[in-house]
């Protein structure tokens, strides 16, 4: 797969996600409801597709969320935020089964973090959060800097602080 030919754009048509299958039944069920979430302004869906093709090869969904401040690892961070910690929430990220293991998932993740970085220039929030589906995805997101929140077990909350994301896109080390 030539990733330079892939475009990521906002959701615009139900046809683009018709018959989307990544192999995770929860995600495959959710994506069919995504248009309604978008219409109700609950989430924004972004689709990866080849040039000249509207069918989704992958997607991710973003929204805002608030988590209990006790989910933050550092005492200073817990003190800084009131009762709720604002996050951009990466609800789902998935790649069509036939397109997996080609780097498209990483491309989608980087694009979602780029959008979070852009939002951080206008709105304050702690970072990007997600719920990991299993040990495999926990290991994958850990590789990209996400950390499991304290006292999490099944479907753990994982958070990547905004300063780490900003460092990535602003070239700081």
Structural domains of the chain, ranges and CATH numbers in brackets: 3-170 (3.40.630.30)
CB 162 within 8 A of CB 116: yes
CB 96 within 8 A of CB 58: yes
Q: What is the pTM (predicted TM-score) of this model?
A: 0.90
CA distance 167 to 173: 6
Measuring CA to CA, which residue among 95, 96, 30 is closest to residue 63? 30
**φ, ψ (nearest 5 deg) of residue 124:** -80, 135
Q: Which two tokens stand for residue 146?
A: 């996400």
CA distance 30 to 53: 22
CB 69 within 8 A of CB 81: yes
Measuring CA to CA, which residue among 35, 27, 36 is closest to residue 58? 27
Q: What are the pLDDT tens digits along the chain (173 aa)?
A: 788 899 999 998 888 999 899 999 989 999 988 888 888 889 999 999 988 788 999 999 999 998 877 776 666 666 666 678 899 999 999 999 999 999 999 999 999 999 999 999 999 998 999 999 989 899 999 999 999 988 777 889 999 999 999 999 997 65
Reduced to 3 states (helix: H, G, I; strand: E, B; else coil), residue 3 is: helix
């Amino acid at each position: 797969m030539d990733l330079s030919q892939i475009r990521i754009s906002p959701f615009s048509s139900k046809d683009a996600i018709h018959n989307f299958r990544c192999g995770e039944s929860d995600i495959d069920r959710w994506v069919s409801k995504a248009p309604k979430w978008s219409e109700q302004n609950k989430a924004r869906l972004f689709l990866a597709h080849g040039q000249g093709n509207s069918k989704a090869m992958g997607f991710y969904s973003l929204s805002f969320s608030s988590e209990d401040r006790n989910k933050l690892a550092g005492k200073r961070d817990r003190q800084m935020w009131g009762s709720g910690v604002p996050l951009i929430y990466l609800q789902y990220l998935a790649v069509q089964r036939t397109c997996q293991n080609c780097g498209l998932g990483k491309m989608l993740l980087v694009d979602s973090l780029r959008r979070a970085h852009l939002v951080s220039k206008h709105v304050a929030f702690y970072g990007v959060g997600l719920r990991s589906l299993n040990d495999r995805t926990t290991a994958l997101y850990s590789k990209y800097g996400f950390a499991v929140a304290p006292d999490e077990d099944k479907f753990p909350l994982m958070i990547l602080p905004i300063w780490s994301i900003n460092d990535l896109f602003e070239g700081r080390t």
